[in-house]
Structure 1
């Protein structure tokens, strides 16, 4: 069985991997803020601007290093979630069969947002694993509880982070299973 990377279509498997585009945008925003802080540090208008510029530069360096760590982990981690004929597999966990899922819900990421999340809703009594993330000091158990409270499941995929649209993920679910797609 041939596997595919995110974005490719294949009857057998869809592997969802982290996309580096959001990190690049965030790094650019941090860099612009850091340049502004650097200007305050090099040409301070007063003592307060000098202190704020120094704090801003140190903050920029810390955030950029953290983004580099996340990007390196994303690049080497491979796929995070795999959809295939057997079910949904979260890296590091057993495959969850399609029959253990009640629905796949496409919902807004937050109030007023046009961005949609893809949420895999389990049947009552089924415990789903948390999707791994590359954030330093991230705790899977706490994240699973938080996402379950917030989204109804620990498997909530943001299409921007995996580089595949919500509609493509929904189409793969329909192709691979009989799990209903709920567009909320």
Structure 2
């Protein structure tokens, strides 16, 4: 595992713990010799992780669509910066450059990137580990929603294991390194139709 894609907010959030966790994640990546792949911004938690990786001597690779340059403020000090046309191209390139994914707290964009990576894993497009950095229990409501989804019959229980959840950045990186992909059996639809 050489590169980890980090999804995160372009805002820092309302609590200092979020920025502290972003900094600690940057340290953990460099400690393990991993490059950062992310959305390319200089602001919010995105910028904090990139700054920490770079200041610790690591490599940071940004990917950003041209239309977001003003709103997200592209980071000008990255190791590599890839300019793309669309959000779809951004996500596809970030995924192809990465061996794993980590989601820090963030907004709708972060959720959307996280769920796409998880969906792709569920349907077998990739077997890359996906981590949630659950700072301040930020992802607890999401985890509860996924458990509710299982109870209501819209997701297999074993697919909860697609996500490695930790509140500590170092433990999360170690969890990704030790991740064993879930073997997907028959398609959910096939199983449902056999009943």
What TM-score results when the alignment is normalised by the length of structure 1? 0.24
Q: Which has the higher helix share?
A: 2
